[in-house]
């Protein structure tokens, strides 16, 4: 067998395995399987070229996916106001690009970074070996840290996965110092599904992307839950117009590139080719809130 044939065979095996894993996500959607989802997506089912970011990006001036993802990470780090010598907790860090970025831009004393996907934790440790970055495997809903410990808690496009986000909010409040800040780039509903086909699209989207049902709510309800958890000075900025459609346009422009065709699972490629922001009626928010002093 030639090298090319054996590569093709390996890729076929991987594709088949991933298709079964995707089917598994739909079987018991109430069980949170974010770690299976992200283990399956791995490094190859990704549109990035220079980084391994996994968010939808902030498309104000960006012309590539890498730039847009970094712009979103910068926007969140700035919103949190990460300061020199801060103790930072980052929940849901992907492959660690955002933590390396924030370390360089803001020089916090330490970033403790938590991720439920073991393979991402392993790779982040290899990619960014720095004593000020502590990559830990675990869930954002049960934080193994003391009360009043961190200056900042961040979640970059991850809190919508947490089972549940409300549990995370309680934990974030507990581990923040009085006056400390929580900052999230997060996904919310623009409006509730209006008919059966929208309800089905939402069900499918939630199953595939592993979003617990209670986590999808509109902005007023989102604000209420932050207040109920005990946060104050809450700001919520809707930026969906600079996220969903530009990401969709970019993804669709890349989907026929031979390199992307060879790398991406065909089902994931198909998924990116379906304009989804309309059907799912989603909004994208930048959120900042503080623990009372
Ligand atoms: C959409 S990705 C975003 C990754 C990264 N923040 C970025 O922007 O590239 C969501 C991340 O949240 C992580 N995640 C999901 N559920 C989690 C949980 N309960 N606790 C910690 N991390 C979680 C996933 O493993 C994944 O790394």
| DSSP string over 148-169 | T-EEEEEEES-GGGSTTHHHHH
pLDDT one-digit tens code per residue, 246-292: 998 998 888 888 888 888 888 888 777 766 545 568 999 999 999 99
pLDDT of residue 144: 95
pLDDT of residue 32: 64
Tokens read off for 91 = 């929940």
Q: Which of 36, 47, 72, 116 to mutate to test the pocket of ligand 1 (most atoms within 8 A of CB)?
A: 116
CB within 8 A of 77, min separation 6: which ones?
98, 101, 102, 105, 106, 154
Distance CA 57, CA 49 (A): 14
Residues spanned by the domain of 54: 3-290
pTM: 0.90
The CATH number covering residue 136 comes to 3.40.50.150
Residue whose CA is at the smallest distance from ligand 1 atom 20: 139
Q: Which of 25, 31, 34 to mutate to test the pocket of ligand 1 (most atoms within 8 A of CB)?
A: 34
Question: Phi, psi (5° rounding) for residue 189?
Answer: -85, 140
Q: How many CA atoms lie within 13 A of 113 on its CB side?
A: 32
- Segments of 145-228 assigned E as strands: 150-156, 176-189
Read off the pLDDT of each residue in 218-242 and give the average, rounded to a whole number.
Answer: 97
Read off the pLDDT of each residue in 204-211 and give the average, rounded to a whole number.
Answer: 82
Q: How many CA atoms lie within 13 A of 289 on its CB side?
A: 24
Reduced to 3 states (helix: H, G, I; strand: E, B; else coil), residue 48 is coil
Tokens read off for 261 = 């065709």
* Count of domains forming the chain: 1
Give yes or no for residue 25 CB within 6 A of ligand 1.
Answer: no
Give yes or no for residue 139 CB within 6 A of ligand 1.
Answer: yes
CB 80 within 8 A of CB 108: no
């Amino acid at each position: 067998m030639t090298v090319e044939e054996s590569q093709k065979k390996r890729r076929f095996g991987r594709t088949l395995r991933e298709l079964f894993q995707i089917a598994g996500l739909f079987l018991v959607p109430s069980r949170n399987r974010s770690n299976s989802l992200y283990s399956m997506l791995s490094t190859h089912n990704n549109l990035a070229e220079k980084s391994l970011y996994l968010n939808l990006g902030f498309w104000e001036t960006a012309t590539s996916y890498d730039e847009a993802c970094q712009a979103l990470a910068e926007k969140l780090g700035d919103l949190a106001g990460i300061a020199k010598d801060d103790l930072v907790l980052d929940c849901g860090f992907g492959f660690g690009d955002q933590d390396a970025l924030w370390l360089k831009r803001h020089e916090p004393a330490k970033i403790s970074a938590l991720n439920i996907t073991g393979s991402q934790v392993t790779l982040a440790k290899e990619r960014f070996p720095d004593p000020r970055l502590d990559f830990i495997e675990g869930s954002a809903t049960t934080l193994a840290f003391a009360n009043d410990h961190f200056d900042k808690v961040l979640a970059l496009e991850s809190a919508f996965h947490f089972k549940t986000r409300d549990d995370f909010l309680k934990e974030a409040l507990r581990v923040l110092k009085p006056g400390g800040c929580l900052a999230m780039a997060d996904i919310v509903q623009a409006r509730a599904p209006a008919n059966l086909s929208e309800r089905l699209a939402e069900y499918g989207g939630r199953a595939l992307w592993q979003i617990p049902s209670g986590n999808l709510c509109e902005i007023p309800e989102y604000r209420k839950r932050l207040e109920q958890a005990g946060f104050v000075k809450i700001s919520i900025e809707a930026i969906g117009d600079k996220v969903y459609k530009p990401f969709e346009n970019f993804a669709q422009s890349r989907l026929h590139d031979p390199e992307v065709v060879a790398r991406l699972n065909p089902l994931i490629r198909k998924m990116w080719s379906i304009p989804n922001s309309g059907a799912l009626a989603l909004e994208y928010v930048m959120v900042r809130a503080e623990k009372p002093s």
